[in-house]
Each structure stands twice: as structure tokens, then as C-alpha cells.
């Protein structure tokens, strides 16, 4: 490690923001240009291109640069660059573009934030890109890698490369004072007299182990510390950045005064392990850091569904080790930190004294404790950090929940739903909304019929409303027929990230429903007066993922509703005594 060769605060920074006059000129000219509304990931990439975090890049990659990065991590002029930074567009938009053309790049509200001078246009082989950039030889199923999923499921088919001119930076309304650009961070470090700065990259809340690790790293090399969490896009399912930033703010006072600071990085991570580590190092160098902490499985997505890791635990460290001198930023490699209760101390996993027992709390265990409201021990986290986590991950009995009843017409869904609503109202504590099939048809879906397409739209609407209620801590009881499996699963996936989802199959047999025929609909369906009638002339796909199955032939609605209450209690959504 040739630390003395590192110029403090990085090399030359690119700034793609144009003058106000040029911005006016571009805006005027843009009336005749095709436009592209940037995706969430593209907005992140654009921000870091424009503010110089991706220096020396000056735009989205053309084909030659892209090929070079894929095959040997280098741009045509030899510059080391590990990650494709490409602008993917639809064939329709690509059809309006030609070499030498100009594309107006707009934010989701349609405001023009930049222009791209088109130099290249091509259809990439996304499978090849996936294997070249994200592959490793661990034998993991690459198709499950989040970035590969993004390429196959979300990426548009045509790439447009070219120089970018930025009109203004994408607007953020959150934590503005904490979003320091590379130039701002560099001058801030200079002002503070911080010659050596070690950056800590993270996409998770920080606990004691992270605090110990960063403190040790900074002490070892006598550097100041920049906590530099990613607030752009991280791994799907991660804790939202609002919560995480409040956790980092709560942690900051635990460092010695004036030795650590926090700044947020609007990066769209790819979870690309080794290549991503090199990319992170370049980005941190551009932000004026001299060192980057790289731990176990840095920026890796973990393991596939068969438990095979996508990358070797120290693969990222190995690749960055190879390139750090050329990059001019040093890696501070770190092992996993583990806690030794008898010494009340954290040790790097390879420095634990012989015979000393260590403990750890896994991410899964952490989530379980938060969900059930079980305490996180003080050796594991700081109480202020825990309090922030608890605010946004309340225990299940304080979270919202959707009870989704599905079954044939006349199965008893509405009766059970009504009985259940009354029980919830009696318990109190959470607002309750009933989205009954008939009511929804009247108020939300009056224009819809009973074709598969219309039924699916109806269920998606119910799912959307229920997900909003659940996310905000309420109880939604839904009682549509919902005869199709795939849309029921869609609704579950929509709701679960924000709370509970309990699927109840009201499995009253068709002959019982028909015999009851409360609304006389079965008779009409048999006579062909009502078409596409579920169970008679239209399918009902029985759920295989129901949390509760009930047949109302023998039990009363009251007893059925009680069964659901007991299930919710056993899952922690209702606390005993409520
Ligand atoms: S779906 O499939 O989930 O969108 O159906 P849903 O919104 O629950 O609406 C079902 C209610 O509409 C009445 N109805 C029909 N049901 C099924 N098939 C056909 N063709 C049909 N035409 C009208 C019926 O009263 C259903 O109410 P419930 O409460 O289930 O009996």
C-alpha cells in the first residue's frame, strides 16, 4: 500500500453542470428533441455523472467503452472502470434517435434535467452482460442475482451512449443538509484539515459491530471517518433509507468528537460484489477519501435460493487489492466483528483469543426480534438506534394487516367479514376498513364486468387500497371472490412489505353455495341468464397458499371469525389481552 502516493481529496473532478445561459439555450432547443423519462436507477446514475462522483466519466457509455468494461474493466483510453453505466431506452424512443441527435433527459415529473448528445445506439446482449459483470465461479444461480433480475425483467432493450450536459441536479427534499457532493465533501475535508479520510459504505442500519469496526479502522490508519451510506437504490427488501439515516444520526455521537461525519450517497447499487467494490473505491476517491473500508462479502447480494453465495466472502477485497494503487485510494480490509461476552469486547473474527466464546445476532434474528417486539441486547446495538428501528418496524401487534377472504359467491365471505370487523372494532386500537365484494363493485369498480381481465383489475384495485391501509397501520378486510391465483399472489406481494397479509379460503363447497343461493344468482347462472358465473360457467382456482381454510357448512360465522382472530393472535398481529 503506497499511502504516501495518495493525493488528499482525489484527482480532477468532472462537473457536467452547464451555465445558466447554456441551460436556457438547451431548454429552448429541446422543443424539437425526443425525450426520455429517466427510471429510478438512471436518475441515480445521472446525478453521480453530473456531480462528478463518476469522474472521469462524462456521459453514458458508448459501445466501445461498454465492451471494454465487460471484458477487462477498462475504458478505451485504459481508465479502470468496473461497472457499465448505460442508458437503456425502449425501441420506440431509440427509433427516433440517430447518431449526432440529442435526447432530452427528464425526471419523473417531466422536468428536463440533462441532455444526452447521442454518439452510439445498440442492442446489447443482456445475458452476456449479466455473466461478464455479475458472474463468479461459486456456482450460484446467476438468474437470481438482483442486478441480473433487473437486466432481464426491467432493463429496456436499447442502449444509448453519449456525452451528457446537466441542467440541474435531480431534486431531493429529504436530508438536504446531509447530501454533500464530491466537490462539497472535498472542500469540507480541507476546511476541517482532514488529510486522511476513511469511508464506510453501508446499506444497512449500523449497530455496535459496525461502530467498533469503523472506529478500529480509523484508529489503525490514523484517519477521520466518513460514514457514507447509500440512499439511492440498494438491495430490494432493505430497510428504507429514511429509517437508516435516522439510525446513522443516532449513532454519530458515539464516535469521539470531530472525528466522524455523515454524508449520503444517492448511488444505485448493483450488488456486484468485487466489481462493485472497485466502483465504490473510485466513487469514494472522487469524494475526497483516501481509504475505503471493505469487509466480508462487500456489496454482495448474499446467497441464491439454494444457499450458494454469489461471491466468495473475500473476493471483493482481492479484486480491490489488485487495483488500489492504480486507483489512488487504499483499501482497509476488515473481517467480520464478533462479540465476546466474557471480555465484553468486539474482536475481528480472526483475532479472537483462543478458547474465548463469541456470539452474534443474524439479520434474520434481528428482524424476528423487531417483528415480535423482543429486545435487542445492549451489546448488539445502541438504544437510540434501536428506538429509531422500532419506530419504523413496530411489532406486529402495532402493524397494519389485511385479511383477504376468497371463495365462491354465497360461500359466506361477507358474513364472516362483517363478524370479524365487529370483533376488531370491539378490540379497538386500529382503524378497520371492510372492502366487501359487492361494495367495491359499486364504489370502485362499477364499470367492470366479470371477464378474467376485469376481475383481475378489480382485485388489483382492492389490493392497492388494502396495501395503503395496511402500510398506514390499519386493518383491511377484503371479501371478493378473487378466483384467480396469480392476481391473489400479486396482492400478497403488494401488501406484505408494509404489514401482514392473511389469505383465508372460505371453502364452502359449490353444492352448498348453490343450495343456499341467497341472491338467486346460481339459478340464473344455471339458466344461462348470468354469464361467466364463478363455479358454474367460470373457473375458481383454489388457493394453495391459504393461511386459513374454512368450510362454513358446519361452523357459524361467529365461530369462523373467531378462528381468524386466534390465527392473528398466534402470528402476533393481535396481542393477548387486546
Ligand atoms: S371478482 O371475481 O372477485 O372480481 O368478483 P367480486 O367483485 O367479488 O363480485 C362478485 C359479486 O358479484 C355478483 N356477481 C357475480 N359473481 C360471480 N360471477 C358473476 N358472473 C357474477 N355476476 C354478478 C355476486 O353477487 C358476487 O357477490 P358475492 O358476495 O360473492 O355473492
Distance 496 CA to ligand 1 centre (A): 26
Please name each of the domains of the chain with its CATH number. 3-166 (3.10.400.10), 176-265+271-392 (3.40.50.620), 396-570 (3.40.50.300)
Structure confidence at residue 11 (pLDDT): 77
Residues in the chain with pLDDT values less than 70: 1-10, 576-578
Which pLDDT does position 2 carry in this prediction? 38
User: Which residue's CA is the closest to the ligand 1 atom numbered 31?
Assistant: 409
Q: Please name the residues in contact with 278: beta carbons below 8 A apart, sequence gap of 6 or more.
A: 73, 80, 82, 319, 320, 323, 327
DSSP conformation letters of 517-532: -TTSHHHHHHTTSS-S
414 C-beta closer than 6 A to ligand 1: yes
Asked if 228 and 248 count as a contact pair (C-beta separation under 8 A), the reply is no
- Considering the candidates 186, 203, 275, 430, report the single residue annotated as catalytic: 203
User: Cβ neighbours of residue 115 under 8 Å, at least 6 residues apart?
Assistant: 26, 30, 33, 102, 103, 104, 105, 164, 165, 167
For the record, the C-alpha cell of 408 comes out as 365462491
Q: pLDDT by residue (tens digit) across 442-476? A: 999 999 999 999 999 999 999 999 999 999 999 99
The predicted structure's pLDDT at residue 4: 37
409 CB within 6 A, ligand 1:
yes
For ligand 1, say whether the CB of 530 is within 6 Å of any of its atoms: yes
Q: Helix, strand, or coil here: 422?
A: helix
Asked if residue 56 has a cis previous peptide bond (ω within 30° of 0), the answer is yes
Neighbours of 165 (CB within 10 A): 19
Distances (CA, A) of 319 to 73, 276, 316, 458: 11, 10, 5, 51
Q: Angle at Cα 459 formed by Cα 458 and Cα 464, nearest 5°?
A: 100
DSSP 433-479: EEEEHHHHHHHT-TT--SSHHHHHHHHHHHHHHHHHHHHTT-EEEEE
Please check whether residue 288 is in contact with residue 194, taking contact to mean a CB–CB distance below 8 angstroms. Answer: no
Known catalytic residue at 203? yes
The reply to whether ligand 1 has any atom less than 6 angstroms from the CB of 232 is no
DSSP secondary-structure letter at 353?
A: P
Ligand 1, closest atom to CA 532?
20
pLDDT computed for residue 392 by the predictor: 83
pLDDT at 363: 79
Torsions phi, psi of 57, nearest 5? -70, 145
Tell me the three cell numbers of residue 27. 431548454
d(C-alpha 526, C-alpha 235), whole Å: 52
What is the 410 CA–ligand 1 centroid distance (Å)? 9
Q: Decide if 561 contacts 419 (C-beta within 8 A).
A: yes
Q: How far apart are CA 445 and CA 442, in angstroms?
A: 6
- Cβ atoms of 477 and 435 within 8 Å: the answer is yes
Burial class (CB in 10 A: 0-12, 13-18, 19+), 110: exposed
Edge-first strand listing for the sheet containing 260-262: 260-262, 224-229, 197-202, 291-294, 330-333
Count CB neighbours of 312 within 10 A.
16
Structure confidence at residue 576 (pLDDT): 65
The question of whether 381 is a catalytic residue gets the answer no
Going by alpha carbons, the residue nearest to atom 15 of ligand 1 is: 533
CB 69, CB 81: distance < 8 Å: yes
User: 3-state DSSP: the chain helix, strand, coil percent, rounded to 5?
Assistant: 40, 20, 40
Beta bridge partners of 506: 550
Model confidence pLDDT, tens digit, residues 406-448: 999 999 999 999 999 999 999 999 999 999 988 899 999 999 9
Amino acid at each position: 500500500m503506497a499511502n504516501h502516493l495518495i493525493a488528499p481529496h482525489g484527482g480532477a473532478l468532472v462537473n457536467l453542470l452547464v451555465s445558466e445561459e447554456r441551460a436556457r439555450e438547451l431548454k429552448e432547443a429541446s422543443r424539437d428533441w425526443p425525450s426520455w423519462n429517466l427510471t429510478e436507477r438512471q436518475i441515480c446514475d445521472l446525478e453521480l455523472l453530473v456531480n462528478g462522483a463518476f469522474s472521469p466519466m462524462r456521459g453514458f457509455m458508448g459501445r466501445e467503452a461498454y465492451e471494454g468494461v465487460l471484458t477487462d474493466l477498462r475504458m478505451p483510453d485504459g481508465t479502470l472502470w468496473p461497472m457499465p453505466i448505460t442508458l437503456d431506452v425502449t425501441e420506440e424512443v431509440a427509433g427516433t434517435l440517430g447518431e449526432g441527435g440529442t435526447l432530452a433527459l427528464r425526471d419523473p415529473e417531466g422536468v428536463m434535467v440533462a441532455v444526452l448528445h447521442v454518439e452510439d445506439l445498440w442492442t446489447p446482449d443482456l445475458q452476456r452482460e449479466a455473466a461478464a459483470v455479475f458472474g463468479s465461479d461459486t456456482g450460484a444461480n446467476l438468474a437470481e442475482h438482483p442486478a441480473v433480475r433487473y437486466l432481464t425483467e426491467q432493463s429496456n432493450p436499447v442502449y444509448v451512449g453519449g456525452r451528457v450536459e446537466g441542467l440541474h441536479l435531480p431534486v431531493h427534499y429529504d436530508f438536504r443538509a446531509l447530501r454533500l457532493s464530491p466537490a462539497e465533501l472535498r472542500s469540507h475535508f480541507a476546511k476541517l484539515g482532514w488529510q486522511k479520510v476513511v469511508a464506510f459504505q453501508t446499506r444497512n442500519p449500523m449497530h455496535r459491530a459496525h461502530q467498533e469496526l469503523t472506529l478500529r479502522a480509523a484508529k489503525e490508519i490514523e484517519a477521520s471517518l466518513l460514514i457514507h451510506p447509500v440512499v439511492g437504490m440498494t438491495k430490494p427488501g432493505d430497510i428504507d433509507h429514511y429509517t437508516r439515516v435516522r439510525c446513522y444520526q443516532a449513532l454519530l455521537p458515539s464516535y469521539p468528537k470531530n472525528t466522524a461525519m455523515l454524508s449520503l450517497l444517492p448511488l444505485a447499487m448493483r450488488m456486484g460484489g468485487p466489481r462493485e467494490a472497485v466502483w465504490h473505491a473510485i466513487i469514494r476517491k472522487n469524494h475526497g477519501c483516501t481509504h475505503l473500508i471493505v469487509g466480508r462479502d462487500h456489496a454482495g447480494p448474499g446467497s441464491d435460493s439454494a444457499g450458494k453465495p454469489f461471491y466468495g466472502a473475500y473476493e471483493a477485497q482481492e479484486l480491490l487489492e489488485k487495483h488500489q494503487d492504480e486507483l489512488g485510494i487504499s483499501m482497509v480490509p476488515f473481517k467480520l466483528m464478533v462479540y465476546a461476552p466474557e471480555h465484553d469486547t468486539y474482536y475481528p473474527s480472526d483475532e479472537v483469543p483462543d478458547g474465548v466464546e463469541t456470539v452474534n445476532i443474524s439479520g434474520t434474528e434481528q428482524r424476528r426480534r423487531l417483528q415480535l417486539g423482543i429486545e435487542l441486547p445492549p451489546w448488539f446495538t445502541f438504544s437510540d438506534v434501536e428506538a429509531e428501528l422500532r419506530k419504523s418496524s413496530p411489532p406486529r401487534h402495532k402493524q397494519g394487516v389485511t385479511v383477504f377472504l376468497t371463495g365462491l359467491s354465497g360461500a359466506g365471505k361477507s358474513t364472516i367479514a362483517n363478524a370479524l370487523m365487529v370483533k376488531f372494532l370491539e378490540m379497538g386500537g386500529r382503524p378497520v376498513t371492510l372492502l366487501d365484494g359487492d361494495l367495491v363493485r359499486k364504489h370502485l369498480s362499477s364499470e367492470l364486468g366479470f371477464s378474467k381481465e376485469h376481475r383481475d383489475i378489480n382485485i388489483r384495485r382492492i389490493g392497492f387500497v388494502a396495501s395503503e391501509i395496511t402500510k398506514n397501520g390499519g386493518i383491511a378486510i377484503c371479501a371478493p371472490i378473487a378466483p384467480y391465483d396469480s392476481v391473489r399472489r400479486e396482492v400478497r406481494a403488494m401488501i406484505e412489505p408494509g404489514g401482514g397479509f392473511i389469505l383465508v379460503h372460505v371453502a364452502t363447497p359449490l353444492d352448498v353455495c348453490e343450495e343456499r343461493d341467497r341472491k338467486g344468482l346460481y339459478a340464473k347462472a344455471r339458466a344461462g341468464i348470468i354469464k361467466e358465473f364463478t363455479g358454474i360457467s367460470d373457473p375458481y382456482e383454489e388457493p394453495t397458499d391459504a393461511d386459513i381454510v374454512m368450510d362454513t357448512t358446519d361452523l357459524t360465522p361467529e365461530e369462523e371469525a373467531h378462528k381468524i382472530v386466534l390465527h392473528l393472535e398466534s402470528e402476533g398481529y393481535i396481542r393477548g389481552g387486546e
